[in-house]
Amino acid sequence: MTRWLRHHQYALLVALRRLKVQPFSSLSNLVVIALTLAVPILGAAILLAAQPVVREIPISPEMTVFMKQDAKLEQAQDLTARIRQEFEPLLAETRLVSNEQALRQLKGNPTWADALAVLPSNPLPHAIVLTLHEAPDLAARADTLAKDIQGREGVDSVLLDSEWVQRLEAILRFIRIGLWILMAGVGVVVIATVFNTVRLQALSQREEIAVARLVGATEAFVRRPFLYMGALTGLLASALACGLALLALTPLNQALSRLAASYGVPLQLRLPDFSLLLTAAVLVAILGALAARWSVTRTTQY
C-alpha cells in the first residue's frame, strides 16, 4: 500500500513539474478550456434564475373574450349566459367585465390615470373572462372553445392569457437542450486540448520513456504522470472557469437588476450549487485523464 501511494505521489509531482516547466503553454491550455467551460456555466446560471420566476407566474387556464367596440352590455351579458350554459363542463368560472369596470380599474392606476383623463370616451370593450378546468388535453379544449366563441356575433377577438408563459417554457426547454449539446461540445474541446498537450509532452520525452521501459518500468508507471497531468488540467480549468463566470455575473446582474426592477420581478443570476459544480469539475478531470491516456498510448507505441 505504501509503495502504491509513493508511486502516485511521484506521478503527481512529475505532472505538476511538467505543468510548471512550460508555464505559457500550460496557462494557454487552461484559459482555452476555462473559457469554453464558462459558457455553459453562465447558461446554467441564466436557466436557474429564470425557472423560479416562470414557476411563480400564475399559469391559470384563462381565456378572455373581447366584444366589439359597439357591442352593448346586454349583448355581452347574453353571450356570457349562453357560454356558461353551453360549456359548463369545461368552465370553472365565467366572469363579465364591463367597459366601465375596466375603465375604473385603469383609472385607479396612476400610470394610466392621466392618459385616460384626456380621452373623450371610453375606448375599452366589454370582456368575458373564462377560467377553464385543468385537464390533460387543456390546450386542445381551449383551442376548440376559442374557435367556437370567435365566430359568435359581437365577438371581436379571443385571447388565451397563458400562451406567452407556455412559449417562455418552450424557449427555456430549447435553451436547456442547447446547453446539453454545448456541454457535449465542451467535452470534445477538453479531449482535443488535453490530447494535443499530452501528445507534445510525450513526443518530447519519448527517449526518456524508452529508457524507462528498458530498465523495467511498467506501462502504468509510464502513463500515470500523464494521466495526472490531464486530470489536473481539467480541475484547474474548471476552477478558472468558475472564477471567470463569477466575474462575468457581476456586470450581468447590474444590468439585469434594472430590467427586473422595471417589471417588479426579483431576478438575480447566480452560479449553480457547489455540488453541481464539483461534479462537473470531476467529470472534466476524468475526461482529461481519459484523453491523456489515449494520447500517451498512441504516441509512445513502438
Identify the pLDDT of residue 240: 92
Question: Three-class SS of residue 91?
Answer: strand
Per-10-residue mean pLDDT, the chain, length 302: 72 77 82 87 80 59 83 88 86 85 75 67 83 69 81 84 62 77 81 79 69 70 82 90 90 80 72 88 88 80 57
Identify the pLDDT of residue 244: 92
**61: CB partners within 8 A, 6+ apart:** 131, 132, 133, 134, 138, 142, 162
Q: Quick one: cell of 129? A: 373572462
For residues 299 and 201, the answer to whether their CB atoms sit within 8 Å is: no
CA distance 183 to 40: 7
CA distance 85 to 91: 10
Identify the pLDDT of residue 56: 56
Partners of 66 in the beta sheet?
A: 127, 157
Q: 174 exposed, middle or buried (CB, 10 Å; 0-12, 13-18, 19+)?
A: exposed
**Nearest alpha carbon to residue 249 among 43, 82, 25:** 43
Q: Quick one: cell of 89? A: 363542463
Identify the pLDDT of residue 197: 77
Partners of 175 in the beta sheet?
A: none
Radius of gyration over every alpha carbon of the chain, rounded to an integer in angstroms: 32
| Torsions phi, psi for 211 (to 5 deg) | -65, -40
Taking CA atoms, 205 is separated from 202, 210, 214, 252, 292, in Å, by 5, 9, 14, 46, 15
The Cβ of residue 99 has, within 10 Å, a number of other Cβ atoms equal to 19
**Nearest alpha carbon to residue 241 among 43, 37, 45, 25:** 37
CA distance 68 to 155: 6
CA distance 277 to 8: 26
Q: Which amino acid is at 235?
A: L
Identify the pLDDT of residue 202: 72
Instruction: Calculate helix-pair angle for 23-56, 163-204, nearest 10 degrees.
Output: 170
Identify the pLDDT of residue 16: 77
